[in-house]
Amino acid sequence: MKVTSYAVARPAAYDRTAVSTFGSYDALVGPHTITVRFTSTVAANRKMLVESICIESVTFSAATVPGRRIMYVRINNGTNEMDIGRIDSTVSATVGNYVADIRFASVTIYTGEYVYGATSDGSTGGAQSMTLAFKGTTFDS
């Protein structure tokens, strides 16, 4: 049934063909340059509400020369970018060192925009366990 009266409220986002959307990466890695680990683009006539993000890293083996560790989940509209979660630190020489950025977000992104996660480790040697993830709900515009 098509509703043509403006007196009827529009359904809530979760009632407009809502689908859970996830992006994740979890691996033990050595030194590397910025590498995109996942991407999720909003399809035509849809929106996405990014609800939560998780960024974690644990030092598994110490680096010979510690370097800069960068991990982020970011949104992009084709022109501009914005981090919605980020770790930017020096890799610890201590095995078991844990850093995290875990948060609940409320960021709406629109058709053609996307959310992605990336990592880098500028150390020499060593290994990091790196985890990036986000959860969102995609729904009709």
The tens place of each residue's pLDDT in the chain, 141 residues long, gives 555 666 677 777 767 889 999 999 999 999 999 999 999 999 999 999 999 999 999 999 999 999 999 999 999 999 999 999 999 999 888 899 999 999 998 899 999 999 999 999 999 999 999 999 999 999 999
* Ordered domains of the chain (ranges, CATH): 15-140 (2.60.120)
C-alpha pair distances (Å), 44 with each of 58, 92, 128, 136: 38, 43, 37, 17
pLDDT of residue 105: 82
What order do you get walking across the sheet with 19-29 strand by strand?
19-29, 127-140, 46-61, 98-110
Q: How, if at all, do strands 32-41 and 81-90 pair? A: unpaired
Task: Report the DSSP beta bridge partners of residue 93.
Answer: none
Q: Give the Cβ contact number of residue 75 at 10 Å.
A: 21
- Region of 74 (left: φ > 0; alpha: ψ -120 to 50; beta: rest) is beta
Please give the pLDDT value at position 93. Answer: 83
> Phi first, then psi: what are they for 14, rounded to 5°?
-70, -10
Give the C-alpha separation, 117 to 35, whole Å: 9
